[in-house]
Amino acid sequence: MPALAGAALLITPLAALVAAAPWADLPRLATSPEVVQALGLSLRTATVATAACMLVGVPLGWVLARGDLPGLGVLRALVTVPLVLPPVVGGVALLMLLGRRGLLGRHLDAWFGVTLPFTPAAVVVAQAFVALPFLVVSVEGTLRATDPAVEDAAATLGAGRWYVVRRVTLPRVAPGIAAGAVLCFARALGEFGATLTFAGSFPGTTRTMPLAIALALERDPDAAVALSLVLVALSLAVLVALRGRWVGGVRA
């Protein structure tokens, strides 16, 4: 029963969304230039954000799981802070660091004439900020669950350090990394608060799907429902496809 209640809590609102959908207008609403533009931007930025997260998140998860540095506990707590931080606060924090008057941003502006806010790069940074912890936690958890003795054994048998990583550790943690990457991508795709605060909202440049949906809600709730359905369908497709291919494939 509790399992049923849990599933109902997650699924019934989506069912209501489907029920409320303006099906007759859906094709027109879902293929309008604004939607195509917002969707394209969302997919591009979330992909880049996920790639960037993989690049830095896997090593970070590794360090957290296997490292023996002092202060690792504090680091672990700090990198998971964005999980509990309201994304809007994350956006403000990013402005304080990378905004035109931010700690780092003012130098970027003065030295290179680069201002990050209001650019697609800012969207990527905002998405990476909120999505990275999902990947890190996932990678760290998987690494902790794998026995380092197998790696030691490989090393004892004469395998080099990089060889062990490549042929022993990575294949064993790949499902965890893949699951983390999927979560990370999904979170980046749904990112709203930090993006709006840090990157702003301009069609084609920074207005991702969630921002377009929130704006449509101000004017035309039907359109907002239609856009939400497009995003839900897309997220579902991505989650199902990636999980099937990566996670399932590695296990097989």
Partner 1 sequence: MTRRGPRRRAIPAALAALLVLGVLGCASGPGRADGASGPGTATSPAAGDAVAGELVVLAAASLQGTFTELAAVFEEAHPGVTVTLSFGGSSALARQLLAGAPADLFAAASAATMADAAEVTEDPVVFARNTLEIAVPPGNPGAVSGLADLADPARLIALCAVEVPCGAASARVLEVAGLAPAPDTYEADVTATLTKVVLGEVDAALVYRTDVLAAGDAVESIPFPEAVAAVNDYPVAVLTDAPNPAAARAFVALLLGNEARAVLVAAGFAGG
Is there a contact between 141 and 176 (Cβ–Cβ < 8 Å)? yes
Instruction: Using the rule CB under 8 A, give the single segment among 11-19, 66-74, 153-161, 198-206 that binds partner 1.
Output: 198-206
Among 6, 40, 148, 221, binds partner 1 (CB under 8 A): 221
CA angle 63, 65, 69 (to 5 degrees): 55
Rounded to a whole number of angstroms, the minimum distance from the CB of residue 220 to partner 1 is 9
Residue 178 corresponds to which amino acid? A
User: Should residue 89 be labelled a site residue for partner 1 when binding is judged by CB under 8 A?
Assistant: no
Residues near partner 1 (CB under 8 A), total:
24
User: Should residue 37 be labelled a site residue for partner 1 when binding is judged by CB under 8 A?
Assistant: no
- CA–CA separation, 96 and 100 (whole Å): 9
User: Should residue 117 be labelled a site residue for partner 1 when binding is judged by CB under 8 A?
Assistant: yes
Instruction: Using the rule CB under 8 A, give the single segment among 76-84, 126-134, 194-202, 228-236 that binds partner 1.
Output: 194-202
User: Should residue 201 be labelled a site residue for partner 1 when binding is judged by CB under 8 A?
Assistant: yes
Is there a contact between 81 and 186 (Cβ–Cβ < 8 Å)? no
Among 115, 172, 174, 247, binds partner 1 (CB under 8 A): 115
- CA–CA separation, 154 and 232 (whole Å): 44
CA angle 76, 79, 80 (to 5 degrees): 90
- CA–CA separation, 178 and 155 (whole Å): 25
Among 202, 240, 241, 244, binds partner 1 (CB under 8 A): 202
- CA–CA separation, 128 and 122 (whole Å): 10
User: Should residue 187 be labelled a site residue for partner 1 when binding is judged by CB under 8 A?
Assistant: no
User: Should residue 194 be labelled a site residue for partner 1 when binding is judged by CB under 8 A?
Assistant: no
Among 52, 63, 95, 194, binds partner 1 (CB under 8 A): 95
CA distances to 64, 80, 247 from 74, rounded to whole Å, are 10, 10, 31
Q: Which residues contact partner 1 (rule: CB under 8 A)?
A: 95, 99-101, 115, 117-118, 196-197, 199-203, 205-207, 214-219, 221
